[in-house]
Amino acid sequence: MNKKIILLIIFILAVVIGYCFVIFKIVQEIAFIPNNFEECASQGFPVLESRPKQCYSPDGSVFSENNGIILRDFIKVVNPTPNQLIQSPLIIEGEARGNWFFEASFPVKLLDENNEVLGTTIATALTDWMTTDFVPFRAEIEFETPIIEKGKLVLEKDNPSGLPENSAEFIVPVNFNLNPNTSIIKVYFNNSKLDPEFSCNKVFPVEREIPKTEAIAKAALEELLKGPTQKEKNEGFFSNINSGVKIQRLVIENKKAKVDFDEQLEFQVGGSCRVAAIRAEITETLKQFPTIESVIISINNRTEDILQP
C-alpha cells in the first residue's frame, strides 16, 4: 500500500481516538453527580472558600462542608447568578422553603473578598411563608463599591433559636463593577437551549455593560432592541422582536412604566406565542429596576388593539 496512504490512515485514526477520548472525559464528568461535599470536591468541581466551604456540582447542587446538605433543596437564587458583575443597588430574587424564613423574612449580607461587610438587608417572602414548599422572596441591598473585585452574597437561614444545628447559609460568589463610568444591565431574550420546548413567555437574561446614564431603563430597552450578539446567539439566545423598532416614549410613575413604540413592533407579528414572547422580553427587561413593578406597552399611543395573536 502507498506509504502516504498508510500515514494518512494512521493520522485519521489518531484524530478519531483523541476525539473519542475527549468526548468520553466530558460525558464522564457530566455523568458523575456527587452526593456530598467530599465527592464534589474530589472531582475538582468549583469550591467556594467560605465558612463552611461550598462545592458546586454540574447539576446545580450546592454541598456544604459542615453537614453535607444540598442547599439547592432549601433555597434557590435567581438573581444574582454566581460570579455575576454587580453594582448598587442590587436586587436579590429567588425562592426558599418556608422553614428558611422566620416571620416571613431572613437576613442577607454582602461581603468583599476580605470578609468586610459592605451592606446588609432583609429578604421578605412574597407569598405565605407558613409552608414547607418553596416561597418566592425579594430583597434590595445598597452598598459602596469596594476596591476589591470579588465578593460574596450571603443569604442566612433565619435562626431565632441561635442553635448551631439550626443555622445554614447560602453563598453566591459575585464580582463588583469597579468602573464608575459604566452600569451593568440585563436584557431578556428567549433561549432555545435553556428552554428547548419554547415556553413563549419564558425569557432569560444576558448582561450588558453600558455607559452610565440617568435614563437607564430606556438604555436597557435600546440594548434589547439591538437583539442578541453573535456570542449570545451561539449560546441559544434569540429575540422575537422585529428589527428596526423605535422607542417613542418611556414614562415611569408610581412604579409603573409606560413605554410607547412605533408600528414596527407589531409589523407582520402573528400567533399568541410570539406575542407573549415579545411582551415578556420587554416587561422583564424593564422590571429588573426597583423603580418598576408593572409595564404598559403601547404602539403609537394605542394599548387596546396592539400585538394581537
The one-letter amino acid code at 76 reads K
> Given a cut of 70, is residue 21 above it in pLDDT?
no
What CATH number is given to the structural domain containing 139? 2.60.40.2550
Query: Which range marks the domain in which residue 286 is found?
Result: 182-299
Question: Are residues 102 and 187 part of one domain?
Answer: no
Average pLDDT over residues 10-33: 57
Whether 236 is covered by a domain: the verdict is yes
Question: Are residues 162 and 189 part of one domain?
Answer: no
74 vs 260: which has the higher pLDDT: 260
For residues 270 and 198, what is the distance between their CA atoms, to the nearest angstrom? 16
For position 26, what pLDDT does the model report?
46
- Phi, psi torsion values for 103, nearest 5 degrees: 55, 40
CA 238 to chain centre: 16
Q: pLDDT tens-digit profile of 190-240? A: 999 888 888 888 999 998 999 989 999 999 999 999 999 999 999 999 999
Question: Are residues 112 and 83 part of one domain?
Answer: yes
Whether 66 is covered by a domain: the verdict is no
Instruction: Quote the percentage of the chain above a pLDDT of 70.
Output: 83
Question: Are residues 206 and 171 part of one domain?
Answer: no
Closest CA to 125 of 109, 139, 143, 111: 139
Number of domains in the chain: 2
DSSP 74: T
Whether 86 is covered by a domain: the verdict is yes
Q: pLDDT tens-digit profile of 171-196? A: 899 999 888 888 889 999 999 988 88
Average pLDDT over residues 286-292: 91
Residues contacting residue 309 through CB under 8 Å, at least 6 positions apart:
270, 271, 272, 275
> Given a cut of 50, is residue 24 above it in pLDDT?
no
Whether 281 is covered by a domain: the verdict is yes
For residues 74 and 44, what is the distance between their CA atoms, to the nearest angstrom? 24
Q: Which residue has the cell 422575537?
A: 240
What CATH number is given to the structural domain containing 202? 3.30.300
Whether 245 is covered by a domain: the verdict is yes
Whether 229 is covered by a domain: the verdict is yes
For position 70, what pLDDT does the model report?
57
Mean pLDDT check: name the lowest of 39-43, 63-67, 142-146, 201-205: 63-67
Any idea of the CA torsion for 235, 241, 247, 249, to the nearest 10 degrees? -110
Distance of CA 170 to CAs 29, 33, 41, 109, 259, Å?
25, 20, 17, 11, 37
Among 176, 201, 229, which residue terminates a domain? Answer: 176
Looking at the DSSP bridge assignments, the partners of residue 180 are: none
Number of CB atoms found within 10 A of residue 155's CB: 23
Question: Are residues 195 and 99 part of one domain?
Answer: no
Question: Are residues 265 and 188 part of one domain?
Answer: yes
Element (H, E) at 138: strand 134-141
Q: 35-44, 78-87, 138-147: which has the highest mean pLDDT?
A: 138-147
Q: Which residue has the cell 450571603?
A: 154
Whether 68 is covered by a domain: the verdict is no
Whether 108 is covered by a domain: the verdict is yes
The one-letter amino acid code at 185 reads I
Confidence band of 29 (pLDDT split at 50, 70, 90): very low
- At 11, is the secondary structure helix, strand, or coil? helix
For residues 72 and 69, what is the distance between their CA atoms, to the nearest angstrom? 9
Question: Are residues 118 and 226 part of one domain?
Answer: no
